[in-house]
Amino acid sequence: MSFLVLKTPPAKVEVVQAGKGRDLLFLHGAGGHMPNDPLLATLATKYRVSAPLLPGYGRSEGEDGLRDMLDVTLHALDVMEKLKLKNPIVVGHSMGGMIAAEMASIAHTEIEKLCLLAPAGLWLDDHPIADIFAKLPYELPALLFHDAEAGKKLLTAGGGDMGDIEFLKQFLVMNARRLGMAGKLLFPIPDRGLAGRLHRITAKTLIVWGREDVLIPPIYGDAFKKAVSKSKLIKIAKAGHAVGQEKPAAVLKAIQDFF
Amino acid sequence: MKFTWFHLMPWPHMPDDFRQKHRSVWVDLPNKMYQPELGHIAYHQYLDQLEYAEKVGFDGIGVNEHHANAYGLMPSPNIMAATLTRRTSKAALVVLGNSIALYNPPLRVAEEMAMLDVLSGGRLIAGFPVGTSMDTNYAYGTVPALTRERYAEAHDLIRKAWAADEPFAFNGRYTKLRYVNCWPKPIQNPPPVFIPGGGSVETYDFCLDNTYSYSYLSYSGYLRAKLLMEGYWKRVAERKADESPYRAGFAQVICVADTDEEAERLYGPHVSYFYNRCLHVYPGFADAPGYRTIKTIQSGALSQFAPGSGRDYPNMSWKDLTEGRYIVAGSPETVRQQMEELIKTLRVGNVFCLLHIGNMPDDKVRHSTRLFAEKVMPHLRNLWPDWKNHDDRFWCHPMHEPVPTRIAAE
């Protein structure tokens, strides 16, 4: 994998690039890229993957200039343009799926292939989404993965010592930057009006959900399916919210079969 | 020295197994625990106590704002302060304060505080907290990373609204008003302002820039507050501002009895109620990511998050709490000595005295309050003679001849 730094207003953007083949743009969820992210590695076996980090994540900067959904959506479109991708498959997971869906709603003549992995962005009163901002770190594996033990290993790979004050400080800074940014789209309710714009999507759209998703229940997949005209919904067994990291091969196959 | 008798107004009927049954006193504690008829009694008792504090000689009486919790039952401190304007006549009304990022438009705060200042004849001391994360983010839904920008803009609007003599337009990012026109205007222009802070350099500078008093509200006592307050005074020196002790205030849990032993017997259970039930906050609600600035985290002001530094309140005895000076408790002489040490080591001109604690019954509250007022306070009055024990910039300026409220009523 290689790192690329783009100059996109308001500031620089870190992009992870890997693989060869057709262009695929990947937008991460609120947790950012996982250490040695299995989904990115798997997608890179068949595609030329470009995975920019949202400002506030990694070495991407400029988060103070991004305050709301429109700011973030336009920023993501700018990044896509700067990357000079050719008719890419735009894939987004969770918060990244919300951003991807917004991009495809607003710039519907520019995005023809869209893949949403358990996207955020809708709210159903009868099926409230868990409040990730009030969760403690130890609660996350069970919220994100069907196999919480395996998920915990994925999340903490390369982790440091929380007893070390310097490491703890760095961790708190990273967490505040990332989730501080994510909160502008997801806090306190992850709904910024996407439901009123989904009808504008003209892209061929694949929606993928983990059957065991306890963060955003699979019924949201049906709601997205209903709202996006040229869409197909696939539910993957024994997978939680981090469906791509938990079942990377199945997600790759679904993308290859659909596009 | 200025002493403000401060009320938190907690819910006093949390059960003994509260900690086991509920994960948090704040945000998601079911309000079926709240019984309105008992609330009626508590509110009036609490307001009576504030009025009593004026009677026995406290300089100020204080209220504050919290939401969705059993720790403090004043979602609107202004309503409480309004009742006090009619039943008191001398004490400063310390409203500490309104969480200005939460009001839409924040002009509402300028208006209501102006009302309080006019009603009280210029006795308002205004407070502008950012609010705890539990209140501001979880209970009121403000986006954590945008909270401070919203706060700064609200502050700007309120100060402009108080200062202006003509309508003006305000084109903020979060508030757009074509006609800002604050009727009524405050008597004091502006009222003195206290800012509750928790150790961020930005807040030190904000207070210095605006001549506001920095108020550190902590329950862990003055020994642990020393480091933070040293940071503040260091900043004051760096900025070459004068070192008036009235630039700073500190909140302290205080219990006074005839003897040290009597203090433990009388107040021990209520102190335990406060530390173990009122402060039982689920860690997931304590600090939404983005609520604190990166600079504050980097400064290490939050080193209390390091393992081993956590305060283990459930296992702390009366001895631990008093010897560690979490609370100042004992005979009048014990309390006097410790308060003098607190005032001098932190260099504070304002003390917010927490003399109602947890589920303390009214007679004990009054007993402790009276002993403090009669046997402690007089000995602490003259600790800042160089400043003539008063700083006009950081206290209210009442009208010389306010209307006696009783006559107004007749």
Q: Quick check: A30 pLDDT over 70? A: yes
Q: Supply B357's token pair.
A: 């604690």
Torsion of CA B184, B189, B191, B192, to 10 degrees: 170
Question: Residue B316: which H helix or E strand, with range?
Answer: none
Instruction: With beta carbons under 8 A apart, name residues in chain A contacting B289.
Output: 133, 175-176, 178-180, 182-183
Backbone angles phi, psi at B259, to 5 degrees: -135, 165
In this prediction, residue B305 carries a pLDDT of 47
For residue A256, what are the CA distances in angstroms to A16, A111, A207, B178? 21, 17, 13, 55
Q: Do B288 and A135 touch (CB under 8 A)?
A: no
Q: What is the pLDDT of residue A170?
A: 82
In DSSP terms, A232 is beta-bridged to: A206
Question: Does B310 lie at the interface with A, CB-CB under 8 angstroms?
Answer: no
**Per-residue pLDDT, B11:** 98
pLDDT at B297: 82
Would you state the pLDDT for residue B406? Answer: 65
Q: Is A135 on the interface with B (CB under 8 A)?
A: yes
Whether the per-residue pLDDT at A166 is higher than 90: the answer is no
Question: Which chain B residues are within 8 Å of A183, Cβ to Cβ?
Answer: 143-145, 288-290
Shortest Cα–Cα distance, B398 to chain A (Å): 42
Model ipTM value? 0.93
- What integer pLDDT is reported at residue B409 of this predicted model? 59
Q: Helix or strand or coil: residue B76?
A: coil
A185 touches chain B (CB under 8 A): no
Q: Smallest CA–CA separation between B27 and chain A, in Å?
A: 10
Q: How, if at all, do strands B193-197 and B213-216 pair?
A: parallel
Q: Do A187 and B137 touch (CB under 8 A)?
A: yes
Residue among A213, A206, A205 nearest A245 (CA)? A213
Q: What phi and psi, each to the nearest 5 degrees, are found at residue A115?
A: -130, 120
CB within 8 Å of A166: residues ≥ 6 apart: none
CB neighbour list of residue B317: distance below 8 Å, 6 or more residues apart:
none
B290 → chain A, closest CA residue:
A180
Top residue of B281, B297, B302, B303 to mutate, by most chain A CBs within 10 Å, is B297
The nearest CA of chain B is from the CA of A75 a distance in Å of 18
Per the structure, how many domains does chain A have?
1
Please indicate if any CB of chain A lies within 8 Å of the CB of B292: yes
CA distance A221 to B54: 62
Give the pLDDT confidence score for residue B285 in this predicted structure: 95
Q: What is the pLDDT of residue A126?
A: 97
Which residue range is the domain that position A48 belongs to? 2-258
A34 vs A104, more confident: A104
The pLDDT score that the predictor gives to residue B300 is: 63
Residue-level pLDDT at B302: 54
Domains annotated on chain B, with CATH = 2-409 (3.20.20.30)
Higher pLDDT, A114 or B310: A114
Give pLDDT, residue B308.
Answer: 44
What pLDDT score does B201 carry?
Answer: 80
The pLDDT score that the predictor gives to residue B410 is: 57
Candidates B26, B29, B305: best to mutate against A (most CBs of A within 10 A) is B305
**Is B302 near chain A, with CB under 8 Å?**
yes
Residue A1 predicted with pLDDT over 90: no
Distance from CA of A16 to the nearest CA of B (A): 25
- Which SS3 state, helix, strand or coil, does residue B369 take? helix
Q: How many other CB atoms sit within 10 Å of the CB of residue B218?
A: 18
Contact check, Cβ <8 Å, B138/A172: no
Q: Give yes or no for a contact between B257 and B267, defined as CB atoms under 8 angstroms apart.
A: yes
CA B185 to chain centre: 24
Of A28-42, A168-182, B13-27, the range with the lowest mean pLDDT is A168-182
Q: Is the dihedral of CA A167, B303, A151, A128 positive or negative?
A: negative
* A193 touches B: beta carbon within 8 Å: no
Do B144 and A183 lie within an 8 Å CB cutoff? Answer: yes
Q: Which residues, other chains included, contact B309 with Cβ-Cβ below 8 Å and sequence gap of 6+?
A: B303
Interface of A with B in 61-80 (CB under 8 A): 63, 67
Contact A183 B143 (CB under 8 A): yes
Q: What is the DSSP string of A124-185?
A: -TTSPPP-GGG--GGGHHHHH-SSHHHHHHHHHTT---TTSHHHHHHHHHHHHHHHHHHHHH
Q: CA B281 to CA B284: how far, in whole Å?
A: 8
**Strand ranges in B141-245 using DSSP code E only, listed in sequence order:** 168-171, 176-180, 193-197, 213-216
Q: Which of B137, B284, B307 is closest, CB to CB, to A135?
A: B284
CB of B30 less than 8 A from some CB of A? no
* A156 pLDDT higher than 90: no
- Residue A60 distance to chain B (closest CA, Å): 15
Query: Which CATH number is A182's domain given?
Result: 3.40.50.1820
Query: How many beta-carbon pairs below 8 A join chains A and B?
Result: 74
A chain contacts of residue B288, beta-carbon cutoff 8 Å: 133-134, 183, 187
Q: What does the alpha-carbon distance between residue B29 and residue B11 come to, in Å, rounded to a whole number?
A: 12
Length reported for chain A: 259
Q: Which residues of B124-133 are buried (b: 16+ CB within 10 A; e: fewer)?
A: bbbbbbbbbb
Q: What is the mean pLDDT of residues A71-88?
A: 95
Instruction: Tell whether A184 is within 8 A of chain B (Cβ).
Output: yes
Please give the pLDDT value at position B309: 47
Q: Is B203 on the interface with A (CB under 8 A)?
A: no
A10: pLDDT strictly greater than 90: no
What is the band of A172 on the pLDDT scale with cuts at 50, 70, 90? confident
Is the CB of A187 less than 8 angstroms away from the CB of B288? yes
In whole angstroms, what is the distance from residue A122 CA to residue A128 CA?
10
DSSP secondary structure string, B13-56? T--TTHHHH-S-SBSSS-GGG--HHHHHHHHHHHHHHHHHHHHT
CA distance B211 to B190: 11
Which of A99, A93, A100 has the alpha carbon at shortest distance from A37? A93
Q: Which residues in chain A are closer than 8 Å to B27, comparing Cβ atoms?
A: 134
What are the pLDDT tens digits along chain B (410 aa)? 999 999 999 999 999 999 999 999 999 999 999 999 999 999 999 999 999 999 999 999 999 999 999 999 999 999 999 999 999 999 999 999 899 999 999 999 999 999 999 999 999 999 999 999 999 999 999 999 999 999 999 999 999 999 999 999 999 999 999 999 999 999 998 999 999 987 778 899 999 999 999 999 989 999 989 988 999 999 999 999 999 999 999 999 999 999 999 999 999 999 999 999 999 999 999 999 999 888 888 876 555 444 444 568 888 999 999 999 999 999 999 999 999 999 999 999 999 999 999 999 999 999 999 999 999 999 999 999 999 999 999 999 999 888 876 666 55
**Percent of chain A predicted with pLDDT > 90:** 83
Q: Which of A133, A162, A176 sits opposite B297 (nearest CB)?
A: A176
- CA end-to-end span of chain A, whole Å? 24
In 3D, which of B289, B162, B159, B299 has the Cα closest to residue B227?
B299
